[in-house]
Amino acid sequence: MTTTKSRTGFRHLPWRLSLKIFVLTFLSFLVVNYAIVRYTSRQPLFAKQNNSLDSSIKSIQTVLAAENQDLQSLRARIEEIRVTSASQRQAIQQVGQDLDAAGAKLHRASIKTARLLDSVDQVSRAASDQEQTLDKIVNELADVNARLQQVSSTLAQFGPKP
Amino acid sequence: MKHYFTHRRTESDFAALQARLERHAEQEIQNQLRRYPLETEEGRKQLEAFIDRISDRRKNLNIKPEFTPQVVGVCQQILAFGMAGLGLVVAFGTRIADAAPFWQSVIKMAFLFALNLTAIAFFVLVWFFVQARSRYPFLFLERLGNAPPFFYYETLSRTWKYSPISTVGGIFQANQKYLEDFTGFAKKLVDEDHDPIQRAKYELQQYFLLIVYQGYLDQYEMQLEHIFLYASLSAVLSALVIWRWLLV
């Protein structure tokens, strides 16, 4: 509680602003920041570009830019092919659908043809049956005719004369 | 302090020494208070007036921090923004290379400054919590710390368990202590009321303790403010120096 005086003439104050403390703090921060920058300069974030490497880096960048351009044109070409192939795929699908429809029609036609063939066969069988019947009738008529001639000749020999 | 001990000091040594010093100080305070002539009516009135005066002064003491909340609040915001900034750097760090060399160096300086400020804010906050743990050394005093009528640390026994888990046994023990302490508290207050010297001692004791506490608050506040002031200015200047020196 006594009023002790410091060398500057004012009373002691525990947290009085001090240039010495400020300079010490500043130097501490400077050292720490210097260490951080030196350490992190090996990392990409703080890496400073070296002049001797500038030309090679620029050439690499140029090559990369050209390759990038090529890649972009290739990508455009691939896109174009993709679009073309998509339209072709659509056309092929349409053709496939048409073929499916034609196949269905052919199937139906084939069924009808088979039915027609069946009916033609039946007609043919009926015709041949009738032909056989006619042949039989012709044969029988021939027999009858032959018998009639025999009868006629017999009558001519033994019958009444005019 | 060294001359008190001839061997390696332990906590019990310090506690015994503290008890001796406390008894001596208490005796001194009692002697001072007995300077009031209590055998006369005038002396008793003087002591009562002294008690009232000390009580008024104690009530009027300013014991609230002035700018600690501001410093702590600023540090909280810096810490939050600093962490967000670090996240942004991690996310977009690779794009820095696309900027012009000058702006790259500016970005690096800003990153360095933000890193410094974030570290300062973190340190200030940690230091604030360390301060919060160390501003009540008088709680370890046996007789001249907080006066029993004013603060629960002296009103209640120190064996209270402030457990949030409420069991049947725990409730019973808490209430047992409550009743014991209440009985002792009532006796202490009635004794005090019959003993003006004791009352004056309690008032004096609490008044002085609050002044000491005010000192802790103010000095710790100044500590925080100075740490932040020196460190943030140093961070700005050192980031600028490093920028001109190494980054541009």
B94 in contact with A, Cβ within 8 Å: yes
> Residue A44 — very low, low, confident or very high, per pLDDT cuts 50/70/90?
low
* Segment among A40-49, B42-51, B128-137, B157-166 with least mean pLDDT: A40-49
Scanning A20-39 for CB atoms below 8 A from B yields 21-22, 25-26, 28-30, 32-34, 36-38
Average pLDDT, rounded, for chain B: 91
- Asked whether residue A161 carries a pLDDT value surpassing 70, the answer given is no
Within a domain: B130: yes
Of B91 and A53, the one with more pLDDT: B91
> What are the distances in angstroms from CA B219 to CA A13, A22, B186, B222?
10, 19, 37, 5
Domain count, chain B: 1
Query: What is the model's pLDDT at position B121?
Result: 95
Within a domain: B106: no
Domain extent, residue B222, equals 36-69+123-247
Q: Which residues contact B67 (CB under 8 A, 6 or more apart)?
A: B221, B225
Q: What is the pLDDT of residues A92-132, one digit of tens each?
A: 899 889 999 988 998 998 899 889 888 888 988 888 898 89
C-beta atoms surrounding A58 within 10 Å:
10
Closest CA to B198 of B189, B207, B210: B189
> Residue B1 — very low, low, confident or very high, per pLDDT cuts 50/70/90?
low
A85 in contact with B, Cβ within 8 Å: no
Q: Return the domain boundaries, chain A.
A: 22-48+55-156
pTM beyond 0.90: no
Give the chain B residue nearest A18 (alpha carbons): B230
**Which two three-digit tokens encode residue B130?**
């360390």
Within a domain: B203: yes
Within a domain: B52: yes
Query: What is the model's pLDDT at position B177?
Result: 94
Query: What is the model's pLDDT at position A52?
Result: 52
